[in-house]
């Protein structure tokens, strides 16, 4: 009877886990069903930062996902699945937008004008806007940095010498003295200034009519001057001499401007020939090459961040013999399709077992004076895994730390990666025989896996059978908090 009750509990727990995982999946990704909606496509010259299954947005709201990306001729074709309740029209526009400084991008769509022909399954979005690439932004930043450097050098030459700094100090000191004297003068003559302002106000009030008459006279004088310059009047004697004087002053100003332009041309020639500080900097090929190398390094780093995938896995297994639950949290940093780094935290009901070798001194005449004890200590602590993985066709080889011990692993992916057969060998030195774990996973829904298998195959006493659920998805927001990224060659 107890066995039947246990089986019923296990069955009820399994059903509850599947139902809860299904609702969690629907909450995390409401677009998990890949058969809803209709597919349209677009062609772009640059799809850097865009990955499969990423969101497509209208006004910042997800309305679909990227189904496929492939090369067609010299352009990239992007297949987009749009939700069935979101209509697109023949004048719809699409483009690539960048979400943050790391270069993470997504497809933004303007649905077009209602009333025009609505796009159907298989139609193309023909209007595609082009956005600036990270390389163009870096080139603009490099040019701005060069301009700032030239301005800084000019300022340094102006105030960098001791004599210039002393002159600047003297000027500021004189200005402070003048300001203090002006404040004192204003304070001493405040009453007089108030009387003067009152008088000016009274004169202004009484002289508004006179001011208007003066303005009329100025208009008449301006008209007469224009007629004089146009030659419509005869020689006016003194007025003509004044005009000639004005022309002479304009001529002298023109000559001064020509001299200034000549000096500017001479300075530009010195820069071109590499003379002076600025000229040497503009002709220093080594410095220019170093700046180009730094720009290329920054571009490579940004490209590595764009290609990095952050895959998060949440998994819980029910262990039938121990009647307990084992939990896993895994983060994969995947800079390329054939390589990733796995970081895992495991809550194992078995705990963490360590082997301790203790030297014991004794005065018991029946025992040796000194002997060694080997103790196996098990503590209730979390286990950690840190592994490097490399893919070769359908196989993935792994090595590193597995649940706080050295270990290796081999995964086999079948039927378009829908089935995953995993083998792990670890726990060397923890027990007499290392632990051999064999598990099989099946992705029966998008991002939701059913996992089952056997743990510790080589130990009859410690052998365990388990069945669980795993939620695996790309978390693009993790890129913004990761302070490093593996650089791809």
Question: What is the band of 489 on the pLDDT scale with cuts at 50, 70, 90?
Answer: very low
Q: What is the 3-state secondary structure (H, E, C) of the chain?
A: CHHHHHHHHHHHHHHHHHHHHHHHHHHHCCCCCCCCCEEEEEEECCCCCCCCCCEEEECCEEEEEEEEEEEECCEEEEEEEECCCCCCECCCEEEEEECCCCCCEEEEEECCCCCCCECCCCCECCEEECCCCHHHHHHHHHHHHHHHHHHHHHHHHHHCCHHHHHHHHHHHHHHHHHHHHHHHHHHHCHHHHHHHHHHHHHHHHHCHHHHHHHHHHHHHHHHHHHHHHHCCCCCCCHHHHHHHHHHHHHHHHHHHHHHHHHHHHHHHHHHHHCCHHHHHHHHCHHHHHHHHHHHHHHHHHHHHHHHCEEEEEEEEEEECCCCEEEEEEEEEEEEECCEEEEEEEEECCCCEEEEEEEEEECCCCCCCCEEEEEEEEEECCCEEEEEEEEEECCEEEEEEEECCEEEEEEEEEECCCCEEEEEEEECECCECCCEEEEEEEEEEECCEEEEEEEECCCCCCCCEEEEEEEEEEECHHHHHCCCCCCCCC
Q: Which of the listed ranges 77-81, 266-270, 294-298, 429-433 does the model predict with the highest average pLDDT?
A: 77-81
Question: Model confidence at 105, in pLDDT bands (50, 70, 90)?
Answer: confident
Quick one: pLDDT at residue 33? 44
Give the mean pLDDT of the chain. 78
Q: Which pLDDT belongs to residue 396?
A: 95
Per-residue confidence (pLDDT) for residue 31, from 0 to 100: 45
Confidence of residue 355 (pLDDT cuts 50, 70, 90): low
For residues 471-475, average pLDDT: 88
Residue 476's pLDDT band, with cuts at 50, 70 and 90, is confident
Please indicate whether residue 431 or residue 86 has the higher confidence score (pLDDT): 86
Tell me: the pLDDT tens digits for 6-50? 777 777 788 888 877 776 666 545 544 446 789 999 898 888 778
Judge contact between 398 and 368, C-beta under 8 A: no
The predicted pLDDT at position 443 comes to 92
Per-residue pLDDT, 487: 43
Using 50, 70 and 90 to split pLDDT, how confident is the model at 286?
low
Most confident region among 143-152, 369-378, 433-442 by mean pLDDT? 433-442
Least confident of 35-49, 63-77, 124-138: 124-138
pLDDT at residue number 28:
47
| pLDDT confidence tier of residue 132, bands split at 50, 70 and 90 | low
Q: State the average pLDDT over residues 421-436.
A: 84
Q: How confident is the model at residue 486 (pLDDT cuts 50, 70, 90)?
A: very low
- Region 254-272 average pLDDT: 74
Among the ranges 188-192, 377-381, 485-489, which has the highest mean pLDDT value? 188-192
Per-residue model confidence (pLDDT) at position 461:
84
pLDDT of residue 386: 93
| Pairwise CA distance, residues 41 & 139, whole Å | 32
Residue 266 has pLDDT above 70, yes or no: yes
Q: Which of 144-153, 168-177, 447-456, 478-487 has the lowest average pLDDT?
A: 478-487
Residue of 360 and 76 predicted with greater confidence: 76
Average pLDDT over residues 373-397: 82
Query: What percent of the chain is predicted at pLDDT more than 90?
Result: 20
What is the pLDDT at residue 302? 57
**Predicted confidence (pLDDT) per residue in 230-247, tens digit:** 654 455 555 566 666 766
pLDDT of residue 185: 80
- Structure confidence at residue 260 as a pLDDT band (50, 70, 90): confident
pLDDT for 279 beyond 70: no
Write down the pLDDT at residue 159: 63
Residue 2 has a pLDDT of 61
Tokens representing residue 420 in the block:
């995953």
Bridge partners, residue 109, by sequence: 94
């Amino acid at each position: 009877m107890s066995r039947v009750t246990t089986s019923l509990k296990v069955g009820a727990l399994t059903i509850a886990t599947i139902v809860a995982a299904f609702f969690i999946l629907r909450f995390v990704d409401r677009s998990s069903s890949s058969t809803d909606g209709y597919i349209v496509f677009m062609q772009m010259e640059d799809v850097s930062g865009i990955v499969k299954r990423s969101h497509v947005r209208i006004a910042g709201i997800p309305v679909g996902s990227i189904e496929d990306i492939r090369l067609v001729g010299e352009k990239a074709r992007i297949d987009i699945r749009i939700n069935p309740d979101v209509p697109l029209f023949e004048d719809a526009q699409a483009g690539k937008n960048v979400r943050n400084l790391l270069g993470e991008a997504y497809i933004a769509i303007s649905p077009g004008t209602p009333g025009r022909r609505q796009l159907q399954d298989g139609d193309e979005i023909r209007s595609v806007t082009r956005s600036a690439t990270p390389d163009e932004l870096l080139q603009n930043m490099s040019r701005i940095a060069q301009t700032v450097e030239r301005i800084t050098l000019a300022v340094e030459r102006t105030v960098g010498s001791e004599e210039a700094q002393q002159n600047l100090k003297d000027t500021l000191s004189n200005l402070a003295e003048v300001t203090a004297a002006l404040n004192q003068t204003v304070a001493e003559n405040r009453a007089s200034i108030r009387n003067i302002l009152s008088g000016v106000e009274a004169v202004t009030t009484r002289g508004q009519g006179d001011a208007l008459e003066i303005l009329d006279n100025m208009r008449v004088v301006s008209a007469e001057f224009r007629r004089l310059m146009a030659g419509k009047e005869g020689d006016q004697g003194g007025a003509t001499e004044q005009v000639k004087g004005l022309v002479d002053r304009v001529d002298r100003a023109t000559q001064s401007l020509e001299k200034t332009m000549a000096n500017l041309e001479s300075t530009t020639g010195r820069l071109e020939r590499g003379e002076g500080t600025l000229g040497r900097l503009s002709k220093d090929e080594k410095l220019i090459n170093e700046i180009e190398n730094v720009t290329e390094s920054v571009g490579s780093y940004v490209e590595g961040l764009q290609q990095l995938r952050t895959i998060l896995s949440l998994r819980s297994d029910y262990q039938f013999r121990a009647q307990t639950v084992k939990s896993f949290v895994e983060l994969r940093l995947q800079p390329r399709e054939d390589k990733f780094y796995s970081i895992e935290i495991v809550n194992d009901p078995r705990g963490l077992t360590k082997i301790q070798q203790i030297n014991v001194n004794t005065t018991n005449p029946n025992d040796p004076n000194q002997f060694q004890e080997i103790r196996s200590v098990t503590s209730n602590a979390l286990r950690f895994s840190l592994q490097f993985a490399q893919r070769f066709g359908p196989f993935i080889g792994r090595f590193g730390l597995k649940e706080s011990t050295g270990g290796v692993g081999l995964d086999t992916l079948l039927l378009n990666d829908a089935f995953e057969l995993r083998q792990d060998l670890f726990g060397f030195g923890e027990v007499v025989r290392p632990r051999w774990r064999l598990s099989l996973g099946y992705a029966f829904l998008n991002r939701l896996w059913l996992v089952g298998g056997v743990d510790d195959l080589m130990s009859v006493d410690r052998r365990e059978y388990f069945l669980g659920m795993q939620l695996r998805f790309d978390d693009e927001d993790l890129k913004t908090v990761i302070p490093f990224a593996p650089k791809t060659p």
